[in-house]
Amino acid sequence: MPQESAVYTHGHHESVLRSHTWRTAANSAAYLLDSLRPQMHVLDIGCGPGTITADLAALVPDGRVTGLEHAPDVLEQARATAAERGLTNIDFAVGDVHALDYPDDTFCVVHAHQVLQHVGDPVQALREMRRVTKPGGIVAVRDSDYSGMIWYPQVPGMDDWQRLYRRVARANGGEPDAGRRLHAWARQAGFDPSAVTATAATWCYRTPEERAWWSGLWADRTVSSVYARLAVDGGHATPEELAAIAGAWREWGADEDGWFGILHGEILCRV
């Protein structure tokens, strides 16, 4: 089986987890929720700090959720999230989406949020997700699309951020514009196109609190995270250029007219 060949562009710096722990099933997996049933067994791939995973476990009280993560360090936080919420129908494991360590037809639902943009072979990942899903089950995937991110006003330096992030992500083996490709990748992975529902959804940050949070975490991420190191070590940007981009983020966040929209592609695939 192929193994993971891409580098996770963001890493798990505090500024990254600040974003990940904001995510819930409601704001990140709404397209899936109507399909869940209390007794389902769910695999949540790329679970990170476990906030979505915990929400899914609460929604399948007679079933079970397994959170899978390629990076083992963040699973301590995921387990703490589950424990704080008193969830006993949840467990966590380390694994690679390209070669899942589960038998065929194991899960009712296999879910992945913001995962395929970061992996080396998203089509193989979808094949594996399909393999471990029971007949009649669901593969649900949601990914952002960095070229589909728009903002106002046009602060100098923000375009530099968008171009730089996409360049670094692709150099690491990922595809930052994954959202628009999900349905095509599903077809290539062998899903029946008539059994794939492709939709889109957005996040939007507009209030002073939302702008401060979103701009602050990206400003910090730009100079302090794994992404910052990869940008410099890969010859994509200098520390001075990263500092300028971080400043642009803070300038945008302080503008009372600031608005930021993020497009996501979603697929719900019946097996």
- Residue 219 domain flag: yes
- Residue 143 domain flag: yes
Residue 21 has what pLDDT?
Answer: 75
CATH of the domain at 47: 3.40.50.150
- pLDDT tens for 38-95 read 999 999 999 999 999 999 999 999 999 999 998 888 899 999 999 999 999 999 999 9
- Residue 83 domain flag: yes
42: domain range?
14-270
Report which DSSP code applies to 219: H
Residue 1 has what pLDDT?
Answer: 47
- Residue 91 domain flag: yes
Q: Which residue is associated with the tokens 């595809």?
A: 175
Q: Which residue is associated with the tokens 């790329």?
A: 46
Q: What is the separation, in whole angstroms, between the first and last Cα of the chain?
A: 21
Asked if residue 6 has pLDDT above 60, the reply is no
- Residue 5 domain flag: no
pTM here?
0.92
- Residue 1 domain flag: no
Least confident of 48-52, 101-105, 137-141, 186-190: 48-52
- Residue 197 domain flag: yes
Number of structural domains the chain divides into = 1
Residue 72 has what pLDDT?
Answer: 87
Q: DSSP secondary structure string, 51-102?
A: HHHHHHHHH-TTSEEEEEESSGGGHHHHHHHHHHTT--SEEEEE--TTS-SS
- Residue 89 domain flag: yes
Buried residues in 197-236 as b, exposed as e (16+ CB within 10 A)? eeeebebebeeeebbebbbbbbbbbbbbbbbbebbbeeeb
Q: DSSP secondary structure string, 170-187?
A: HHTT--TT-GGGHHHHHH
Mean pLDDT of the chain: 93
